[in-house]
Amino acid sequence: MKKQIAEGQGFIAALDQSGGSTPKALRGYGVEDHEWSGDDEMFGKIHEMRSRIITSPCFSKGKVIGAILFEKTMDGMVEGKPTPQALIDRGIVPFIKIDKGLEDEANGVQLMKPMPELDALLTRAKGLGVFGTKERSVINAANAEGIAAIVKQQFEVGMQVLSHGLVPMLEPEYSIKSEGRAEGEKMLKEEILKLLPTVPEGEQIMLKLSIPVEANLYAELIAHPKVLAVVALSGGYSTEEACEHLAKNKGMIASFSRGLLQDLRAGQTAEEFDGTLSAAIDKIHAASVA
Instruction: Express each pLDDT in 133-170 by its tens digit.
Output: 999 999 999 999 999 999 999 999 999 999 999 999 99
Cα→Cα distances 281→7, 58, 239, 259, 275, Å:
18, 8, 10, 9, 10
37: exposed, middle or buried (Cβ count in 10 Å: 0-12, 13-18, 19+): exposed
> Residue 283 and residue 244: Cα distance in Å, rounded?
10
What is the pLDDT, as a whole number, of residue 19? 60
- Side chain identity, residue 54: I
- Give the amino acid at 14: A
What was the pLDDT predicted at 256? 83
Does the structure show a pLDDT above 80 at 20?
no
Tally of CA atoms within 13 A in the half-sphere of 113 that contains its CB: 9
| Mean pLDDT score, 193-206 | 97
> pLDDT by residue (tens digit) across 60-85?
768 999 999 989 889 999 999 999 99
Q: What is the pLDDT of residue 61?
A: 62
Where in the sequence numbering do the catalytic residues fall?
171, 208
Residue 179 has pLDDT above 80, yes or no: yes
Hey, what amino acid is at 116? P
Look at 137-141, 186-190, 263-267, 285-289 and tell me which has the smallest mean pLDDT.
285-289
16 pLDDT above the threshold of 90: no
Q: Which residues, 6 or more positions from 265, have their beta carbon under 8 angstroms from its beta carbon?
A: 29, 30, 273, 276
Residue 127: pLDDT band (50, 70, 90) is very high
Tell me, what's the pLDDT at 25?
85
Rounded average pLDDT over 94-117: 96
CB atoms closer than 10 angstroms to residue 106: 12
pLDDT grade for 102, boundaries at 50, 70 and 90: very high
Query: According to the model, what pLDDT value does residue 150 have?
Result: 98
Query: What's residue 258's pLDDT?
Result: 75
Average pLDDT, rounded, for the chain = 93
Q: Which of 107, 105, 212, 118 is nearest to 156 (CA)?
A: 118
